[in-house]
Amino acid sequence: MTDLKVKIEQRLQAFQKGGLRDNALELLETLGYSSPKTMEFNGSPAAFLEQFNRNPEAIRFNEEKALVSDWQEIQLLFQLTDQELSGQVDLFDENAVSQSLMQSYLFFAAIKQESRR
């Protein structure tokens, strides 16, 4: 196996122990994705919804389509903007997630609740 495949396998196995956020960040970094633009909240679905539904002018987050009722934990890992993807650095760059940047990607990690019998 190549070195990268071994690292990816190790990162995936690490999800069996440790926290979701740290393991997801390490996996994405192994794959070449990272950014200082992040936002931390307690990981609860309610905290997530509060954060992303607070702007009355924005399109509301569709809880039904996202299966929010199935979430046990949700973590916003980071935001990648077009500048980071192109390798350019902005002198006035911020390290906080901006809800106004429309040409960007938000990386999340979620744990699904176990099925109830």
Give the integer Cα–Cα distance in Å for 79 and 99: 10
**Most confident range, picked from 21-30, 59-68, 86-95:** 21-30
Angle of helix 3-13 versus helix 20-30 axis, rounded to 10: 170
Compute how many other C-beta atoms are within 10 angstroms of the C-beta atom of residue 81. 19
Query: If pLDDT is split at 50, 70 and 90, which confidence band does 90 have?
Result: low
Which value, in Å, is the radius of gyration of the alpha carbons in the chain? 16
